[in-house]
Amino acid sequence: VGIYTFLRSLYRGGDSRFDCIRTDPKRFFTVFMLQAIWVTLCTVPVVALNSIPPEGFGGAGWWTEDRHTWVSGPWRMFIFWLGLWSFFRGIVIECLADWQLMKWRWDKDRKKHDEVFCGTGLWEKSRHPNYFGECLIWLGISLCCYAALVAGAAQKTTGMGWYTALVVCWTTPYFVYKMLRNISIPLIEKRHDKLYMERKDYQVWRRHRSFRIWLDGSGIVWGYA
C-alpha cells in the first residue's frame, strides 16, 4: 500500500485529499493524531502476542511438543489457518485492486479508454475491493494472534482469559472496518456521486455492487449491501 501510494503521488504530483489539510494546522493535527490512533489500535493484537513470555508458547503456536501441528487443539488450529487464509487473501485482493485502478488511470491518461469510473476487474465485483482486502488483512492478523493468546500456557503466563483475548484481538478489525465504512468510503462515494450520479451506468454499478467480494463462493461475508 505504501509503495502504491508513493507511486501514485509521484505520478499525479501529490495527493489531492491532503491539499486542504496541509495548510490548516488544526485539521493537520487532527489527521495526524487520528493516524497515530489508527496505528496504535492496529498493533494491539500483535503487542498482546509479543507480551507472551517464551514459556507461554508451549503448545500455543509456533513451538509445540507435537511437531505435526503449529497450533495444538483442533479449534485453535482452525482459527489460526482461517486467519492465515484471510490475511493472504486480503493481500492479494488489495494489491490486485490497487494495481487494476492504477492501470485504469494510466490507460485513461493515454487515451486508451474514455470511462469516467473504474468498473472492471475486482472493481466490477465491489465498489471498494481495496478496502475489503484491507479488512481481511487485519481480520487475519487478529485471528492468528487470538489462536495463540487463548492457549492454556499463554493464558497462565499473561493472565488473559479467552474473553479478554477476544476483545483485544477484535479491536483491530472492528476499528479498521468502522473507519473505512464510516469515514473513508462515505467521503469517496460522496465525491463520486456528485460527479457521476446522473449517469445510468454508474447508478447500475453502484446499486448492484457491495463492499464484499465473492471470488470463489467461499469468501468471508464482511460488508454491507
Q: With the CA atoms of 182, 184, 189 and 192 taken in that order, what torsion angle do they form, in degrees rounded to the nearest 10?
A: 160
Best CA proximity match to 165, nearest among 65, 53, 51: 51
Best CA proximity match to 44, nearest among 185, 147, 167: 167
Instruction: Determine contact, residues 172/180, Cβ cutoff 8 Å.
Output: no
Assess whether pLDDT exceeds 80 at residue 82: yes
Assess whether pLDDT exceeds 80 at residue 127: yes
Instruction: Determine contact, residues 116/199, Cβ cutoff 8 Å.
Output: yes
Residue 129 C-beta-side C-alpha neighbours within 13 Å: 26
DSSP state of 65: S
Assess whether pLDDT exceeds 70 at residue 115: yes
Q: Which segment, 10-14, 18-22, 28-32, is predicted with the most confidence on average?
A: 28-32
Q: What percent of the chain has pLDDT over 90?
A: 16
Assess whether pLDDT exceeds 60 at residue 19: yes
The ranges assigned to domains in the chain are 43-207
Q: Which ranges constitute the DSSP H helices of the chain?
A: 2-12, 19-22, 25-42, 44-50, 74-109, 122-125, 129-149, 152-158, 162-179, 185-196, 200-207
Q: How confident is the model at residue 173 (pLDDT cuts 50, 70, 90)?
A: very high
Cell numbers for 39, please give them. Answer: 496505528
Instruction: Determine contact, residues 184/132, Cβ cutoff 8 Å.
Output: no
